[in-house]
Structure 1
Amino acid sequence: MTITISDERAFAQAVQANQAARCRQTEFDFIVCGAGSAGSVVAARLAEHPEVRVLLLEAGGSDEAASVTEPALWPHNLGTERDWGFMAEPNEFLNGRSIPMNMGKVLGGGSSINVMVWARGHRSDWDYFAAEAGDDAWNYASVLDIYRRVEDWHGPADPARRGEGGPVYVAPARDPQPTATAMLEAARSLGVPTFDSPNGAMMEGDGGAAINDLRIRDGKRLSVFRSYTYPRMAQPNLTVITGALVSKLTFDGNRVAGVDVILDGQPVRFHAAREVVLSLGAVNTPKVLMQSGIGPEDELARHGIKVRQHLAGVGRNHQDHVSFGCIWEYREPQQVGNGGSEATLYWKSNPTLDAPDMLHCQVEFPVPSAENAARGVPAHGWTMFAGLAHPKSRGRLLLSGPDADDAMIIRANTLSHPDDMASALASVRMCRELGNASAFRHLVTHESMPGNLGLEDMQRYLRNGAVTYWHQSCTAKMGRDTMSVVNGDLEVYGVRNLRIADSSIMPRITTGNTMAPCVVIGERAADILKAKYHI
């Protein structure tokens, strides 16, 4: 069925009228905090049932902006009101640098401002989740069923692994630019296999190279919010409120009863008859937990916060994909296609690893760090980010104060583990072999950076060039040890009627971009809640 512009306008008007009618309600069955890639799924799935009253709270604003809908404009969101603008602390392992930790603050969260890559994670990631949780519902076979259920795949047929008709439109990058196809040719020349998709078979073994799967249809971005939640916003049982900063959880004994929110500068309290779900991301979820009295006793005591539940792991185990830009100069200017990231490579530096440890992302324009830009940035060039898929460095999040407007301290500790420098050197070495392969000779004049540096100079280049892939995670991890925050059903230990559904529950960061795994986390949370409450 074709949807006309008049249909879209009529629906938008129905949404506006319905949401205006809902805005004074304060009593709900479920409150979902955060409209990112997981929260949008949870709210939409619960709202499928007309008798269930669902509130979705988002601190950011509307996603109706050209920089959100136009794939090529995604970098224009960084540093704007659609970005939380987090910064990591100065890091001695990065030569004292503070690196930005951008995160989406808008309906759709990261899925509204990211590069739209759909990356499912490796088989071993999900099997590790299941082992940590003690629950096979998290293993690869179970998660594969979820992916088949939610996908609307528009690529080469793979019925054993891909789905059709689901809410998540996914397709290979359309008409990829020569830089992307050359990357695949270069990979083959180095003995790395290439695949029709970076998902499916490629993520069940040693890895490989492929054209990216993207969330772009008819030249427009598709956020998770637009795919899941927006189509239900004309329903009277779903309320979506923007500009709503969740400040604290409210309690009745050890049961979470609702949330306190700062809305238009004023405090508002919302009540949840059944449960509250935190989907605020790997920075704000531990922040709200700690400021509500759930977290490490010593950290809460520093700020005079009464301890409701000691959980030593809140804010610990911070993980992120770190990468290092290698840049080549084009012979002639090239077009930027599909937002600029059209090909990727995952590979093992050691065949005994359970998953690829190298994550290479091709970008069709030069992206140096500020510190390395002085080496000379070509006017026209491309970048291959040599990334670490499973860094061993672990960071920690700390409170700077007890209030909602007190910024979080992000002690990312990037490159603090010595093995990460060794892995970075291996990843950049392979990245340079790829970019300097014969497949690129018709496109580039030379390698602009880093070049053939000695060990000390290369390590300095890496410490000056390390940047994040913006995949912060694991700060309220799922598991059964003393550092775990949630169990396999995503329930916060020691607290009733509170669950977490976002990247913070990952026991370890998944191989690749984190949007797709967050959708799975949202689906699992919704399935668990629907089963418990028979809805």
Structure 2
Amino acid sequence: MPIISTPVLSPGDTPHLQRHYDFIVCGAGPAGSALAGRLAENPEVRVLLIEAGGGDDVPEVLTPAQWPLNLGSERDWQFVAEANPHLNNRAIPLNMGKVAGGSSGINVMVWSRGHQADWDQFAEESGDDGWSYRSVLEVYRRIEDWQGRPDPERRGSGGPVHVETARDPQPVATAMVEAAASIGMPIFDSPNGEMMEGRGGAALTELIVKDGRRSSIFRAYVWPRRHQPNLTVLLHAQVSRLLFEGNAVVGVEAIVGGRREAFMAEREVVLSLGAINTPRVLMQSGIGPEDELRAHGIHVRRHLPGVGHNHQDHVAFGCLFESSAPVEVGHGGSEATLYWKTDPSLAAPDVFHCQLEFPLATPETSHMGVPEHGWMVFAGLSHPKSRGSLHLTGAGPDDPVRIQANTLSHPDDVRAAHATVEIAREIAHAPAFGRLLKREAMPGALSGPDMDHYLRNAAITFWHQACTARMGRDPLSVVDGRLRVHGIDRLRIADASIMPNVPSGNTMAPCVVIGERAAGIIQAAHRI
């Protein structure tokens, strides 16, 4: 068997690359990193972790305040949704990490667990109580090295993921929390405890920042094991398709250095490529809607009509406020958050805000005037009703995916957009912001059709793409509660694509749970 040596984690770290492993994990994002790290705890288990991007040892990744510099760079897949008539024909970017750590290497570092109702809905859809909130709390306790006030029922210590509240928060962050209280919302010490078991509230953000540096999920789970002989990390390698024997997946083909290379899995392959690339690899390997596959000359190995459908993402609307003096930026610029049920009878919050310590407009709204000094609120929808879909443009790994995000296609989302923006404006004009607020720059005094037009021009996403290979028991589901792809042996999926619905907040922490759950399921199945 030929041995291929390749730079893996750094120029001086070049372990031998083999052709056969016990498990192949495709994608070093939050779920894939957690899964690979846990499987590699057993020294007898050989694990290959394949990542299309490169290493994360660059200032833009490790320095929290530099995260915006990753957007549009080689560390970003640079996905763009198709022009959308519901957004005044705008084609909006859908950034996703292409680097060791995936999106946990380029995002805003926010640790958000999701609402109790989110996880209970996962359990209901899958028929597996292991996905319930109470069960997932045990997983979170195992994951976390929580630095805040002890909460033994909900928080963990000594785990791989360092989580702490934003230290020395900027005045606009503390003002947001105080202002939320002044309009009747409860405030909490943590957005990841009791706050996400009820109607919601406001709190300072929790982050994966340690000693002033980003601590991505790759750094938490994989980096400490980088010298183990049973764990190989292959960077700059794009998984192109699955390899089969009959109905079983036995390996993957990847593009390495411009060449197609085959790597074989003695036990299982797990796709953790994210909500765009996981469906792409499935479909280009013959798993997906048969009409779509045949249109591109792809042999149908398994008709699964749900692959690439049910695309979901959080949508937000920029509310910009000018300050009377410069606003300092700390911890990447996002230090306060809010979740709220506008109707107490709702199962989970429908409003989701992230405060940013700098003003940023879309190209379509910038003519309204972006203030030199100020802050903004991503006034978002926690559970939008619009649904999108993914479609192939060809059968090869270089053929891009068409993303029909359909943002704001559901009329209820437009109505909800008005409500979330009004909450952001009410908070910004509360007395807590009295010394900070000079004027409201956007949306200002707009109303009626003018406000609708603004919302469609201002809409962006939180880059929380999910649900395109969802877990469930109906004909449109793709995996079961054990993350096995329906009708295919030795293949699982562990990433945001398996979510039945997007959770109430940022998706990074739930993806770590998915990786941990996958590891436990696989370890039990193989008795390792």
Which category describes the TM-score, using the shorter chain as reference length? over 0.9
Q: Is 1:346 aligned to 2:339, yes or no? A: yes
Corresponding residue for residue 251 of structure 2: 258
Q: Is 1:372 aligned to 2:365, yes or no? A: yes
Q: Is 1:135 aligned to 2:128, yes or no? A: yes
Corresponding residue for residue 22 of structure 1: 16
Distance 2:429 2:445 in 1: 11
Distance 2:258 2:519 in 1: 31
Deviation at 1:157, TM superposition (A): 1.7
Corresponding residue for residue 166 of structure 1: 159
Deviation at 1:438, TM superposition (A): 1.3
* Contact map agreement 1:390 1:511 (CA 8 A) in 2: yes
Deviation at 1:289, TM superposition (A): 0.0
Deviation at 1:21, TM superposition (A): 2.8
Aligned partner (choices 466, 469, 474) of residue 476 of structure 1: 469
Deviation at 1:22, TM superposition (A): 2.1
* Contact map agreement 2:8 2:15 (CA 8 A) in 1: no
Letter in 2 for 1:239: T
* Contact map agreement 2:101 2:219 (CA 8 A) in 1: yes
Corresponding residue for residue 217 of structure 1: 210
Distance 2:129 2:435 in 1: 49
Q: Deviations over 1:494-514 (max 9, x none)?
A: 000000000000000001000
Corresponding residue for residue 50 of structure 1: 43
Q: Deviations over 1:500-530 (max 9, x none)?
A: 0000000000010000000000000000000
* Contact map agreement 2:243 2:253 (CA 8 A) in 1: yes
Corresponding residue for residue 333 of structure 1: 326
Describe the SS at the equivalent of 1:155: coil
Letter in 2 for 1:488: G
Cα gap change, 1:496 to 1:18, in 2 (>3 Å): farther
Aligned partner (choices 59, 74, 79) of residue 81 of structure 1: 74
Q: Is 1:421 aligned to 2:414, yes or no? A: yes
Corresponding residue for residue 293 of structure 2: 300
Q: Is 1:520 aligned to 2:494, yes or no? A: no
Describe the SS at the equivalent of 1:530: helix
Letter in 2 for 1:21: P
Corresponding residue for residue 456 of structure 1: 449
Aligned partner (choices 298, 304, 311) of residue 311 of structure 1: 304
Q: Is 1:438 aligned to 2:438, yes or no? A: no
Letter in 2 for 1:82: R
Corresponding residue for residue 401 of structure 1: 394
Corresponding residue for residue 5 of structure 1: none
* Contact map agreement 1:78 1:102 (CA 8 A) in 2: yes
* Contact map agreement 2:10 2:55 (CA 8 A) in 1: no
Deviation at 1:262, TM superposition (A): 0.6
Cα gap change, 1:466 to 1:15, in 2 (>3 Å): closer
Describe the SS at the equivalent of 1:410: strand
Describe the SS at the equivalent of 1:195: coil
Deviation at 1:150, TM superposition (A): 1.1
Distance 2:327 2:128 in 1: 48
Distance 1:308 1:168 in 2: 39
Corresponding residue for residue 281 of structure 2: 288
Letter in 2 for 1:257: V
* Contact map agreement 1:118 1:215 (CA 8 A) in 2: yes
Corresponding residue for residue 499 of structure 2: 506
Corresponding residue for residue 465 of structure 1: 458
Instruction: Give the TM-score taking structure 2 as reference length.
Output: 0.98
Distance 1:142 1:514 in 2: 18
Letter in 1 for 2:80: M
Corresponding residue for residue 278 of structure 1: 271
Aligned partner (choices 229, 232, 235) of residue 222 of structure 2: 229
Structure 2: segments with no counterpart, 5+ residues: 1-6
* Contact map agreement 1:349 1:358 (CA 8 A) in 2: yes
Aligned partner (choices 135, 157, 162) of residue 150 of structure 2: 157
Aligned partner (choices 91, 99, 118) of residue 98 of structure 1: 91
Instruction: Give the TM-score taking structure 1 as reference length.
Output: 0.97
Q: Deviations over 1:344-367 (max 9, x none)?
A: 000011111100000011000001
Cα gap change, 1:254 to 1:431, in 2 (>3 Å): same
Distance 1:378 1:38 in 2: 38
* Contact map agreement 2:35 2:516 (CA 8 A) in 1: yes
Letter in 1 for 2:14: A
Q: Deviations over 1:216-255 (max 9, x none)?
A: 0111000000000111110110010001010000000000
Letter in 2 for 1:399: L
* Contact map agreement 1:19 1:239 (CA 8 A) in 2: no
Letter in 2 for 1:352: S
Distance 2:67 2:403 in 1: 24
Letter in 1 for 2:515: G
Letter in 2 for 1:364: E
Q: Is 1:490 aligned to 2:483, yes or no? A: yes
* Contact map agreement 2:77 2:95 (CA 8 A) in 1: yes
Corresponding residue for residue 177 of structure 1: 170
* Contact map agreement 1:18 1:235 (CA 8 A) in 2: no
Superposition pairs for residues 179-194 of structure 1, below 5 Å?
179-194=172-187
Letter in 2 for 1:121: G
Equivalences, count = 522
